[in-house]
Amino acid sequence: MNTNLPSDSSPHSRIHPLVAGAAVAVILAGGTGVAAMTGLLPTSRAVTPTTGLGAVGGAVAGGLLGNQVAQGRGRVLATIAGAVGGGLAGNGIEHAVRKDATYQVQVRMQGGSYRNFNYDTQPTVQVGERVRVYGDSLSAS
């Protein structure tokens, strides 16, 4: 008995929607990274560093969720939409979690000019309080 299938009746070879969604997420993340490194994306003056793990994790989770909610031909579209939406949400969440606060104090000098002082922690001086300037730091007078 020959159990081999004839060569003309091969099974359909289709890519699984989850694999397609993951591939799209990787392509989008890679394309965004290349665009950021080459200067094609606008830059931010924010101090907050992001690792990209939030975007990748969000894209994978969104792709998995999108794959579960749809059926038939809409499943691929839902997987891709979930991956894109999850990537954007994950990036936003990572940015919010890793946010670093900086404080800028502007002082009006006796001559009428203004000078700015930056602090990593909340300064001890209050708005309207008289201060003394010692080099690059302030103290209450």
Query: What is the predicted pLDDT for the residue at 5?
Result: 55
For the chain, the C-alpha Rg in angstroms (whole number) is 27
Query: What is the predicted pLDDT for the residue at 123?
Result: 84
Strands 137-140 and 131-134, bridge-based pairing: antiparallel
Mean pLDDT by 10 residues, the chain (141 residues): 56 78 82 74 57 82 85 85 86 78 86 88 86 86 80
pTM for this predicted structure: 0.41
Helices (H), 39-133: 53-69, 74-97
Query: What is the predicted pLDDT for the residue at 51?
Result: 74
Query: What is the predicted pLDDT for the residue at 16?
Result: 86
Please measure the distance between the N-terminal and C-terminal CA atoms of the chain and give it in whole angstroms.
Answer: 101
Query: What is the predicted pLDDT for the residue at 9?
Result: 52
Alpha-carbon span 135 to 69, nearest angstrom:
61
Query: What is the predicted pLDDT for the residue at 24?
Result: 83
Query: What is the predicted pLDDT for the residue at 23?
Result: 83
Between the CA of residue 9 and those of 4, 5, 6, 13, 16, what are the distances in Å? 10, 7, 6, 12, 20
